[in-house]
Amino acid sequence: MAKVLEGHGMRILQKWNIAVPRNIVVTSVQDLDRSVSENPWLKNTQLVAKAHEALGSRFKLGLVRVKLNFTQTRSAVKSMIGHQIGGLTVREVIVSEMIPHSQEYYVAIQATRKGADILLATCGGIDVEENWNRVKSLSVEVGDTPSRTSLQTLARKTGFPGNLTGKIADFAGKLFAAYDKEDAQYLEVNPLVQRSFDGTLVALDVVTLLDADAKYRHPDWTFPFAAEFGRAYTNSEKELMEIDAKVKGSIKFIEIPGGDTAMLPAGGGASVYYCDAVVARGGKLANYTEYSGDPPDWAVEALTEKVCDLPGIKRVIVGGAIANFTDVKKTFGGIIAGFRKAKAKGKMGKVHIWVRRGGPREKEGLAAMRELAKEGFKINVFDRTTPLTDIVDLSLGKEPATNAKGSKKVVAK
Amino acid sequence: MSIMANLNTKVVIQGGVAGLNAARRMAEFSYLIQKPLNVEAFVYPPDAGKTYDVPFGSTIVPVPVYHSIKEAAAKHPINTSLIYVGANRAYAAAMEALEIPAIKFMSMIAEGVPERDAKLLAKEARKRGKLINGPSSIGVISPGQCRLGVVGATYENLCLSKLHRSGSFGVITKSGGLLNEILWITSQFADGVTTAIGIGGDAYPCSDYVTYLEKFEKDPHTKAVIIVGEMGGTLEEEAAAWYGAKKRRIQLLAVVSGFCQESLPKGMKFGHAGAKEGAKGEGSARSKARLLKKSGAIVPETFGALGPAIKKVYTNLLKSGKVKEIPMVPPPQQLKSVDVAVKAGEITVTPLIRTTIADDRGEEPCYDGYPASELINKGYDIPHIIGLLWDKRLISKQEAEIIRRIIMLSADHGPCVSGALGTIIAACAGIGMSQAVAAGLIMIGPRFGGAVTDAGRWFQYGVKNHKGDIPAFLAYMKDNVGPVPGIGHRVKSVKNPDKRVKELVKYVKSTGIKTPHLDFALALEQVTSGKKDNLILNVDGTMAAVLVDIGFPVNSLNGFFVLSRTIGLIGHWTDQKRQGGRLIRLFDYLVNYATPKRREVPKLK
């Protein structure tokens, strides 16, 4: 899943012959001034200025300003750029022309298991969420294209007046084509309006989610994908994303401020069970991390260093299920090297390491971890006979949830 | 006994290196259960026509590689395809497999397959009444019967998790690592697994829990099914709806991950691609767990509680007589590779070769026992390495200096000599360095540069048997050997002495070492040059005498010329490359055509 900012989403709609307001994305007032010569409409149209960032509810945050002349737009850009919301700084503003209209509508294409749903509503803007029962939908199986008749029927069912159903059907057809051909996961035009002076349907705003896995077949996706959790990526996250993009297998890292428990487990599945266990046992996650698919040791080492850099952590959970093909000795080698570097930087003094793992070369990997105790690390190492998340219980001073009979504990001295 | 994969499964693997690796793992499993390998063929166009080697027990099975799956299917009774190609080729590969009537089941490991492709494949498979498992699937394993993919890890793990025999539990997971974990848990807390399937963690996998639940329900050996779920999507909800719809024969156990989302900053999500909550809380771990519980499934609070829950179900199954305890039959041990067995001290092997000079098995090479870096750090030099590798001894500083000078003096002797000429002609014909230098080196022999060993041998003989009696030595040589090696030069003479020889002799004499062979050679020169002006001690002879004096074995002596002249030959080759030397052809006037005059060819008889 990859979120695309409005300006880039607009370009994609234009590619599929959908009318959008003329717009430019600027990073400063100077940038706006320089754009005037190529975009004379900036001087003779009413304008809208919106913060061009991955933010919901921009209206409520005061980051959308409407009915502006050029001078007012300059001051709007000036006040928005550099504005901070949570962990996110506004760096771009999208300036577009006002489209005179009376009515607002809603059109969206949403992925489903078998294909997609086309959603229509005669109310747009923020009204649509409060009137969700007015949204009508049409399911389309993947590989199929909705007929004009079926879209017209949907428009009629939704309550569009007879003279508009043809236009709405055509618009929905074009939006569906964009969704289908651009490997989108979600396209939402809200509001959709009818331009007063010529009756053309214009997409005033668009939410665009693309399938990042399909990037390889869309050479024109030159824009960056936006972070999806309401803040920009941190430098550490970006550094590790760059490594992740280069290596076999994967390494993932998301920082969560204020946590005391650093996560360094293996596996996209097991890692979430580890996080659940931490939360269930009253710990506070300092990050989400997983490595999988037998990544190179140096990548795991880089990941380990970032995990140990997390401020205020008391414990590191080096968990994992019994790997199928990830080499435990090799990946643990990377983790051990990362721990040593962190220790040299004075980061491990108060940190207790908890290890549980199985898989190819597990004996060698676990033995190497146990050796760390001799170097002064506080570390406890368990093998496959200890249930998956028991190390989380132990690390938080709790009796294991399931002290299964027959599971023997191997505690490093 | 199983679903999807059994003793009748015949597999084609689509993909190269990764596919071969999977086949090797599958062969380990086939060996474990003492059945023939179930991989019939590979499809990998770059290697079409070759065979891949798959080790099986103590043998190696060659498995043919085809250009297309159609070709493979025409020649092999395949019914299952393992798709081991990358995400960008996965769609085409699966479509190719779908076209083959005999292939009913496909499992795909590729991660990052676009969602649209996966949906299209699922639709196509539905249309044809077939099943695709994955994408992002670790594979399928029916213990005791069939392994599809790398699922189950190493041979050691197969044994630990008792995968050589079937049990009573079905398993369906999104995560590959957790599938392997469940195989282990089920072997420890119960009697093991009938079939375990990884469906992959994508948002829209081609097949889902319900697909396989229906099949497990119909498999009489499967008494209970374990689902390892994740937040996001609706697959767990659908499984709950299926399970609750009517009375089911199988007992469902399920765990779901993603409860931690509730206490995370809003919008922050992680895990597999499919692990994303809907806007209104649908697809959350809590709602999934609630629905599963409501449907009658056993839903432990945590993953850790799953083991005891499995144990409880198994105990009840035993009590009710639905299953009987399986007597433990130990699986066959994996055959060890020779290197592992040797390391463990379990076998001995007669070595093929024997060496006494160098050992590279540690962190760095050791020359006659001395680590190379330590020699460097303690100030030793190239001549010392020669001493160690050629004569197994640490030579003195003085001896090293003599060798250094010998190398410097005989590194090159211009382009006209046989060796250099050979190299230059080869270089100009476009031949590579090692061959061109070899073309020069093969000239080294009795007439060019290769007289050092022979000279050393006969000087040694002379010193031993005719010391102080040069005429007797010369008489012996004349009768038994011929011209004395190391004596005589094509262009140099008493009046035109070889400066290299003078330099070397001067230096060696200045060191004050004992030089019986050099003295003998010089005395010999006195006599021979008196007979003929150019019968002087040449550079080969001088080197030979000096080297024998400092104790090098006679057999190594030519090596000093070979070694030092190699420096020059490499120089001649690079020199020609640098200047782009053109192909050399002899001019007619440089050849004496002593051939018969042109004449008529007689009729063939």
Reported ipTM: 0.91
Beta bridge partners of B142: B146
Beta bridge partners of B172: B197, B227
Nearest chain B residue (CA) to A278: B260
- List chain B residues with CB under 8 Å of A266: 177
3-state SS track over B383-434: HHHHHHHHHCCCCCHHHHHHHHHHHHHHCCCCCCCHHHHHHHHHHHCCCCHH
Residue A1 is predicted with a pLDDT of 66
Residues sharing a CB contact under 8 Å with residue B447, sequence separation 6 or more, in sequence order: B418
DSSP secondary structure letters along A164-223: HHHHHHHHHHHHHHHHHHTTEEEEEEEEEEE-TTT--EEE--EEEEE-GGGGGG-TT--S
Is the per-residue pLDDT at B472 higher than 50? yes
Is the per-residue pLDDT at A406 higher than 70? no
Is the per-residue pLDDT at B279 higher than 80? no
CB contact under 8 A, B303 and A275: no
- List chain A residues with CB under 8 Å of B181: 270, 321-322, 358, 388
Average pLDDT over residues B321-347: 88
- Residue B119's pLDDT band, with cuts at 50, 70 and 90, is very high
**Preceding peptide of A224 cis, ω within 30°:** no
Average pLDDT over residues B121-126: 97
- Residue B109's pLDDT band, with cuts at 50, 70 and 90, is very high
* Token pair of A267 as six digits: 């596996």
Nearest chain A residue (CA) to B306: A402
Q: Which of A394, A378, A379, A387 is nearest to A408 (CA)?
A: A387
pTM: 0.82
Is the per-residue pLDDT at A405 higher than 50? no
- Residue B329's pLDDT band, with cuts at 50, 70 and 90, is confident
Average pLDDT over residues A218-222: 94
- Could you give the 3-state DSSP secondary structure of residue B14? strand
Is the per-residue pLDDT at A140 higher than 60? yes
Percent of chain B at pLDDT exceeding 70: 98
**Residue with structure tokens 């899943």?**
A1
CB contact under 8 A, B123 and A141: yes
CB contact under 8 A, B153 and A292: no
Domain ranges within chain A, ordered by starting residue: 22-97, 104-217, 235-395
| HSE, side-chain direction, 13 A CA sphere, residue B33 | 24
Residue A402 is predicted with a pLDDT of 58
Lowest mean pLDDT among A107-116, B190-199, B229-238, B329-338: B329-338
Q: For the CA atoms of B144, B150, B154, B155, what is the dihedral angle to 10 degrees? A: 30
CB contact under 8 A, A360 and B154: yes
Element of type H or E holding A25 = strand A23-26
Residue A347 is predicted with a pLDDT of 93
Q: How far is CA A259 from CA A72, A279, A300, B489, in A?
A: 43, 11, 21, 87
CB contact under 8 A, B201 and A269: yes
Element of type H or E holding B140 = strand B140-142
- Residue B169's pLDDT band, with cuts at 50, 70 and 90, is very high
CB contact under 8 A, B276 and A1: yes
What would the CATH number be for the domain defined by A104-217?
3.30.470.20
CB contact under 8 A, A270 and B273: no
Residue A411 is predicted with a pLDDT of 42
- List chain B residues with CB under 8 Å of A390: 304
- Residue B312's pLDDT band, with cuts at 50, 70 and 90, is very high
Lowest mean pLDDT among B46-55, B120-129, B480-489: B480-489
Average pLDDT over residues B488-501: 89
- Residue B56's pLDDT band, with cuts at 50, 70 and 90, is very high
Is the per-residue pLDDT at A328 higher than 90? yes
Residue type, B115: E
Architecture of the domain delimited by A235-395? 3-Layer(aba) Sandwich (3.40)
- List chain B residues with CB under 8 Å of A278: 260
Please tell me if the domain spanning A104-217 has the same topology as the one spanning A235-395. no
Residue A401 is predicted with a pLDDT of 61
Is the per-residue pLDDT at B283 higher than 60? yes
CB contact under 8 A, A280 and B180: no
**CB distance A309 to A341 below 8 Å:** no
Is the per-residue pLDDT at B281 higher than 80? no
How many Cβ contacts (< 8 angstroms) between chains A and B? 198
Average pLDDT over residues A169-198: 95
* Shortest distance, CA B313 to any CA of chain A (angstroms): 15
Is the per-residue pLDDT at A228 higher than 80? no
Nearest chain A residue (CA) to B121: A142
- Residue B1's pLDDT band, with cuts at 50, 70 and 90, is confident
- Residue A230's pLDDT band, with cuts at 50, 70 and 90, is low
Strands A23-26 and A93-97: antiparallel
- List chain A residues with CB under 8 Å of B110: none
- List chain B residues with CB under 8 Å of A387: 185, 303-304, 307
pLDDT digits (tens, 9 = 90+) for A354-372: 999 999 999 999 999 999 9
Is the per-residue pLDDT at B276 higher than 80? no
Q: Residue B300 has what DSSP assignment? A: -
Nearest chain A residue (CA) to B269: A229
Contacts 24+ apart (CB under 8 A), B376-381: none
Is the per-residue pLDDT at A279 higher than 70? yes
Is the per-residue pLDDT at B266 higher than 70? no
Q: Which of B67, B76, B164, B272 is labelled catalytic?
A: B272
* Shortest distance, CA B37 to any CA of chain A (angstroms): 20
Residue A409 is predicted with a pLDDT of 45
- In this complex, the residue of A229, A268, A322 whose CB is nearest that of residue B271 is A268
Percent of chain A at pLDDT exceeding 90: 83
On average, the pLDDT of chain B sits at 94
Is the per-residue pLDDT at B268 higher than 50? yes
Q: Is B272 a catalytic residue?
A: yes
Residue B261 is predicted with a pLDDT of 87
Q: Which of B511, B460, B515 is nearest to B485 (CA)?
A: B460
**CB distance B82 to B134 below 8 Å:** no
**CB distance B11 to B80 below 8 Å:** yes
- List chain B residues with CB under 8 Å of A237: none
Interface-testing mutation among A55, A129, A241, A273, with chain B (most B C-beta atoms within 10 A): A273
What would the CATH number be for the domain defined by A22-97?
3.30.1490.20
| Separation between Cα atoms, residue B153 and residue B146, nearest integer Å | 14
Interface-testing mutation among B24, B107, B116, with chain A (most A C-beta atoms within 10 A): B116
Percent of chain B at pLDDT exceeding 90: 86
Nearest chain B residue (CA) to A217: B88
| Separation between Cα atoms, residue A73 and residue A76, nearest integer Å | 5
pLDDT digits (tens, 9 = 90+) for B352-400: 999 999 999 988 999 999 999 999 999 999 999 999 999 999 999 999 9
Average pLDDT over residues A269-286: 94
Buried b (16+ CB within 10 A) or exposed e, B454-465: bbbbbbbebbee
* Token pair of B536 as six digits: 């002087």
CB contact under 8 A, B177 and A389: no
Residue B333 is predicted with a pLDDT of 87
Average pLDDT over residues B231-241: 94
CB contact under 8 A, A322 and B151: no
